[in-house]
Structure 1
Amino acid sequence: MKIQIKEVSSSADLNAFVRFPFKHYAGNQYWVPPLIRDEKRYLSKNNPVLKHAELQLILALYNGKIVGRAAAIINHKENEASGVKHARFGWIEFINKIDVSKALFKYLEDWSKARGMTALKGPFGFTNFDKAGMLYEGFDQLSTMATIYNHSYYPKHLESLGYKKLADWFEFIAPVPQETPEKIIRLSKTIYERYGLQDINVKKKKDIQKLLDQFFPLVEASYADIEGFVPFTTEQIEFYKKRFYPFINPDLTKFVADKDGRLIAFGITMPSFSKALQKANGRLLPFGIFYIKKALKKNDLADLYLIGVHPEWQNKGVPAIIMNAIIEGFRKNNIKFSESNPELETNNKLHQLMANYDTKIHKKRRVFIKELYELA
């Protein structure tokens, strides 16, 4: 099976790259499509991350037909901060033919080595706000707006090509309790009183807007030790504000400050947009925007999108405050179930907190790595 690798070099190529998964997952009830317009914009030269990152998109062709795709990425800012020379792969898709995946990864590895990289890891995006981790359990579960869905044969292909586990993430789902566990209520009250913590009242979206200058530095501090973390630039912060701000419901957020008014913790949850995006099928018009707005206002499922606590406060029970408030917001908005974003398997403190609720792990995903010097 002779596979041709074509570098994406035109708007027509980019269009084909973005649209390939729509055919690849046609009829799959668990895949959640992106918005085509947003995906094109994100992968274009207008993305501010490309001021300090390299990107090459590729297509795999067989007899002129697209059978796979991938993105080769080097985030120089990450490498400088961590002292490594790692390339990333992302946006990876391929049919169930080893010749296809082998051709894609040969290109990715050769591209990375030609630029002096010593390892290739993924799937990752550019930053921590991008989708990451290849699904290896939970193929019969509905995906989310913020996570990757892939066919069950993907991890097997990577393992056969010499890729090994770098990190695993788990995703939890749980019914929203009719009452908050008494243990969490007592703990929250004690923490507030002991440290003089205070809530930051957020009633409207414009209230959140005022917090964003403190929010992004706190995200960086909270997630600095996570694999693949990349600090944000000013341009990226403005880019992400515009990208995610429309999806936020203030009732499903929580912001906590210390006694001096400094933001130390946050919880951002969102109504699930999975079914709305499936109905939109990549387009906002004519009806996609209606499905999304409806999901924002009326929904029985929420995604625990992002929870962060400043390192100075991570061992003082502050996550319990965030969870307590989030659950109250869920009940207020008639949310019946909640699903976490991917959480590191080594995040034992979060796992212990989740044990207070009727949670179960329903998806597992993995980031792989391959040392490239072994190929020389």
Structure 2
Amino acid sequence: MATAIPLSIRPISSKADRKKFVDLPFRLYKDDPNWVPPLKSEALGLITPEKNGWFSHAEAQLFLAERGDTVVGRISAHIDTLALTMPAAQGFGPGCGQFGLFDAEDENTAKALINAAEAWLRNKGITRVLGPISMSIWEEPGLLIQGYDHPPTIMMGHAKPEYRGWIEGAGYTHAKTLYTYDLDITQEFPPIVRRIIQSGEKNERIRIREVDKSKFDEEAAIILAILNDAWSDNWGFVPLTPPEIADVGVKLKPIVFNDLIRIAELDGKPVAFMITLPDLNEVIKPLNGNLLPFGWAKILLWLRKPKARTMRVPLMGVVKELQASRMAGQLAFMMIEYIRRAAVSRYGSTRGEIGWVLDDNQGMNAIAETIQSKINKTYVIYQKAL
């Protein structure tokens, strides 16, 4: 009778082990038509401290689960020092760590990995854990629990349905729900929305403008100032730092198009923004994680004349002083409409995705429902006391 190969869990730090960490999902999800293989160079950059500005205020430990020479699971345990300084009522706060980048072949492996992550966090003085958050709240937060039947858009996560039961079985409970909304952008918005937009167009105080990519740093600074003000009271908020902003700029600048990102000005002052990105996942999915030998050429060819079925709105914000006003909704509807027109006419898009949106963000959920979008994916962030 064959002897079962024992499971081992070990912390990793070498370049070779990080490669194994990145490679695992390619085996676990190889038969899942809705998994989008990330570019391996990007995935490696995320977990390499020298290449990810998030590590300027955070530390992480990666773990691999192995049976013999076969990698059967992975997890990260991490502590964001900025998150520790946030009010506990906003999700993070003193004593709060996270786990993320979680994948496992079976439930026993999952439990062993979670135990290892918890032990590392506990040893660092952490008393509460949130997860999965991979690895910053601005990257891929939450576990997919609804919407497995279609691929995620750029910068959104995917997971196996079994993971929910395994995480909950390890003693985790619901902390926060995140939604993404699906929208047919070939259709005009309802009459009430069109009237609100037309009213805004008659208001001389309002200007909705495209960004100017030739002034990338200046425009990014304007958006960041609005973002840090607009989101500062939100659950899970952690301010973006200059090193992270520099990283985001490098990654996203190639897919920034002037007509897909709008800034709203009131009396000449920037007060709101909306960022829309073509769904690069449609382009990278066939590459199976590799830029060589022809991946680079395919992406560069697409960038010359980009077409995308789906557009994603990952971020929007209105300054706090306007958030309780009717003006906030009006500015949002105007930006959404102008971007919708550009997406359909210039990029051949037919579908939009908005999110993620917190389940208790009444203003944004109301806007999504008013333009007749529907929830297409649900993610959950779990919590546990250590």
1:38 aligns with 2:42: yes
- Asked if the contact 1:174–1:338 (Cα under 8 Å) also holds between the matched residues in 2, the reply is yes
- Asked if the contact 2:9–2:65 (Cα under 8 Å) also holds between the matched residues in 1, the reply is yes
1:336 is aligned to 350
Distance 1:309 1:285 in 2: 41
1:288 aligns with 2:295: yes
User: Partner amino acid for 2:257?
Assistant: N
TM-score by length of 2: 0.90
Distance 2:49 2:67 in 1: 28
1:273-312 equivalence runs, <5 A: 273-293=280-300, 295-296=302-303, 297-312=306-321
1:89 aligns with 2:99: yes
Task: Kindly state the Cα deviation for residue 182 of structure 1 after the two structures are TM-superposed.
Answer: 2.9
Question: What are structure 2's unaligned runs of at least 5 residues?
Answer: 88-92
Structure 1 runs, 4 residues or longer, greater than 6 Å off: none
2:371 is aligned to 357
Distance 1:34 1:108 in 2: 24
- Asked if the contact 2:56–2:243 (Cα under 8 Å) also holds between the matched residues in 1, the reply is no
- Using the TM superposition, name which of 239-248 and 206-215 deviates more: 206-215
- Asked if the contact 2:101–2:135 (Cα under 8 Å) also holds between the matched residues in 1, the reply is no
1:235 is aligned to 243
- The 1:131–1:168 alpha-carbon spacing in structure 2 relative to 1, beyond 3 Å, is same
The root-mean-square deviation of aligned C-alpha atoms, in Å, is: 1.9
TM-score by length of 1: 0.92
Distance 2:228 2:356 in 1: 17
- Asked if the contact 1:273–1:295 (Cα under 8 Å) also holds between the matched residues in 2, the reply is no
User: Partner amino acid for 1:57?
Assistant: L
Task: Kindly state the Cα deviation for residue 225 of structure 1 after the two structures are TM-superposed.
Answer: 2.6
Distance 2:275 2:147 in 1: 24
Distance 1:165 1:357 in 2: 29
Determine helix, strand or coil for the equivalent of 2:133. Answer: coil
Task: Kindly state the Cα deviation for residue 144 of structure 1 after the two structures are TM-superposed.
Answer: 1.8
Distance 1:127 1:309 in 2: 22
Pick from 217, 221, 229 the counterpart of residue 221 of structure 1. Answer: 229
1:80 aligns with 2:85: yes
Distance 1:151 1:231 in 2: 31
1:206 aligns with 2:214: yes
1:1-376 equivalence runs, <5 A: 2-46=6-50, 47-82=52-87, 83-95=93-105, 97-191=106-200, 196-202=205-211, 205-259=213-267, 261-293=268-300, 295-296=302-303, 297-315=306-324, 316=327, 317=329, 318-333=331-346, 334-372=348-386
- The 1:232–1:191 alpha-carbon spacing in structure 2 relative to 1, beyond 3 Å, is same
Task: Kindly state the Cα deviation for residue 248 of structure 1 after the two structures are TM-superposed.
Answer: 1.6
Determine helix, strand or coil for the equivalent of 1:147. Answer: coil
Identical-pair percentage? 26
Task: Kindly state the Cα deviation for residue 191 of structure 1 after the two structures are TM-superposed.
Answer: 4.0
Determine helix, strand or coil for the equivalent of 2:236. Answer: coil
Task: Kindly state the Cα deviation for residue 111 of structure 1 after the two structures are TM-superposed.
Answer: 0.7
Distance 1:217 1:253 in 2: 15
User: Partner amino acid for 1:73?
Assistant: H
